[in-house]
């Protein structure tokens, strides 16, 4: 599908330009992170998941409508067979400015070089602790040494400036490690984002007790580092800071304390073809029938309508043990 270089950007009912698609290729993962999944998960039947060719069609269609950045997510995208093939095909699409992906890092020793060869531009690696015991507590099944080796492999294949760590902040679990996480990122010459936990999926979980705000994190880090605010943007919701004399960029993603909905530029498609205009809202458009029928015109109209109906913003409430959104992050796409 050849795209029109003069195509208009998608625009929602509030005038926001939509240029960024997060496309999940699987709901499966080799970790069971406490803020993302239940310890025992029921995964989708394989027949209900978009094939790689269907993922490519979704990407093509979004790009034809003006999307210029795609992030491939999961679950864990690298557990999907032939993922590198899909990444390479998407990167070849005319009109795409950037192809990124998010991974837990467990498979990067094997796949970092093929991903670089496929044309992936940037990789975000989820890393919530440098302490093996805490890392195991958060991921339930993860091996910290394996992930750290994956970080090294990614740096070797891509260069540090194209690698970013994602750290979900959890009070009384990993929040005291934030300075050590920055020290690690600076030593590796890679970037890092600190992310406020979102109340999704875990009924009965005390989100207020484990929540740690970006303001608290920033104040904590300023006790250890000179931080200078930056106006730069990576096309997402993070707000950035720099340490003078170092290459590392420190970002904060703050869905609670610094709601970024007014500038939201993204849509999410799950591994089973559900289009969510907003992570914090249950509104969804089912793209799968149109994708399975190969009806590109219908697919385009569904996307355009979903963008037009994009909510003004999310409303997360930490004061209730039952989340407003009973939907695991692994379903929506991390």
Any idea which of 51-55, 208-212, 306-310 has the lowest mean pLDDT? Answer: 208-212
Q: Choose among 90, 132, 133, 84: nearest CA to 108.
A: 84
Where are the chain's structural domains?
A: 10-332
Residue 33 vs residue 72, higher pLDDT? 72
pLDDT digits (tens, 9 = 90+) for 253-276: 988 766 668 888 999 999 999 999
Q: Choose among 236, 218, 239: nearest CA to 227.
A: 218
The whole-angstrom separation of Cα 202 and Cα 230 is 34
Any idea which of 211-225, 259-273, 288-302 has the lowest mean pLDDT? Answer: 259-273
CB-based contact 30:37 (threshold 8 Å): no
Q: Region 13-21: what's the mean pLDDT? A: 94
Residue 189 vs residue 44, higher pLDDT? 189
Taking 50 as the threshold, does the pLDDT of residue 72 lie above it?
A: yes
Average pLDDT, the chain: 90
Q: Could you tell me how many residues make up the chain? A: 334
Q: pLDDT value at position 2?
A: 46
CB-based contact 87:72 (threshold 8 Å): yes
pLDDT digits (tens, 9 = 90+) for 153-175: 999 999 999 999 999 999 999 99
Single pTM value for the model? 0.91
Give CA angle at 145 (142, 150), nearest 5°. 90
Homologous superfamily of the 10-332 domain (CATH): Aldolase class I (3.20.20.70)
Q: pLDDT value at position 5?
A: 47
The whole-angstrom separation of Cα 41 and Cα 6 is 44
Q: pLDDT value at position 279?
A: 78
With bands split at pLDDT 50, 70 and 90, how would you rate the model's confidence at 3?
very low
């Amino acid at each position: 599908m050849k795209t029109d270089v003069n195509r208009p950007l998608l625009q929602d009912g509030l005038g926001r330009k939509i240029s960024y698609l997060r496309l999940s290729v699987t709901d499966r993962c080799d970790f069971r992170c406490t803020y993302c999944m239940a310890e025992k998960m029921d995964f989708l039947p394989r027949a209900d998941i978009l094939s790689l060719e269907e993922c490519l069609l979704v990407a093509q269609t979004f790009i034809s409508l003006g999307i210029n950045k795609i992030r491939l997510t999961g679950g864990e995208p690298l557990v999907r067979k032939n993922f590198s093939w899909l990444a390479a095909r998407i990167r070849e699409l005319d009109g795409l400015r950037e192809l990124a992906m998010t991974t837990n890092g467990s498979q990067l020793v094997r796949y970092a070089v093929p991903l670089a060869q496929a044309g992936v531009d940037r990789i975000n690696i989820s890393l919530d602790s440098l302490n093996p015991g805490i890392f195991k507590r958060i991921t339930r099944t993860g091996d910290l040494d394996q992930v750290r080796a994956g970080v090294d492999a990614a740096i070797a294949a891509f260069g540090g400036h194209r690698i970013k760590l994602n750290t979900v902040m959890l009070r009384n679990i990993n929040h005291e490690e934030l300075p050590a996480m920055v020290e690690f990122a600076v030593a590796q010459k890679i970037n890092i984002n600190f992310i406020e936990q979102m109340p999704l999926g875990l009924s009965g979980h005390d989100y207020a007790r484990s929540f740690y705000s970006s303001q608290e994190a920033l104040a904590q880090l300023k006790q250890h580092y000179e931080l200078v605010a930056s106006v730069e943007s990576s096309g997402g919701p993070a707000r950035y800071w720099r340490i003078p004399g170092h290459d590392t960029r420190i970002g904060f993603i703050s869905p609670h304390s610094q709601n970024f909905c007014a500038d939201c530029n993204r849509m999410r498609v799950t591994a089973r073809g559900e289009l969510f205009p907003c992570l914090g809202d249950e509104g969804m458009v089912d793209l799968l029938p149109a994708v399975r029928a190969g009806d590109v015109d219908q697919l385009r109209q569904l996307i355009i309508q979903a963008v037009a109906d994009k909510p003004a913003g999310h409303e997360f409430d930490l004061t209730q043990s039952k989340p407003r959104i009973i939907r695991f992050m692994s379903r929506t796409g991390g």
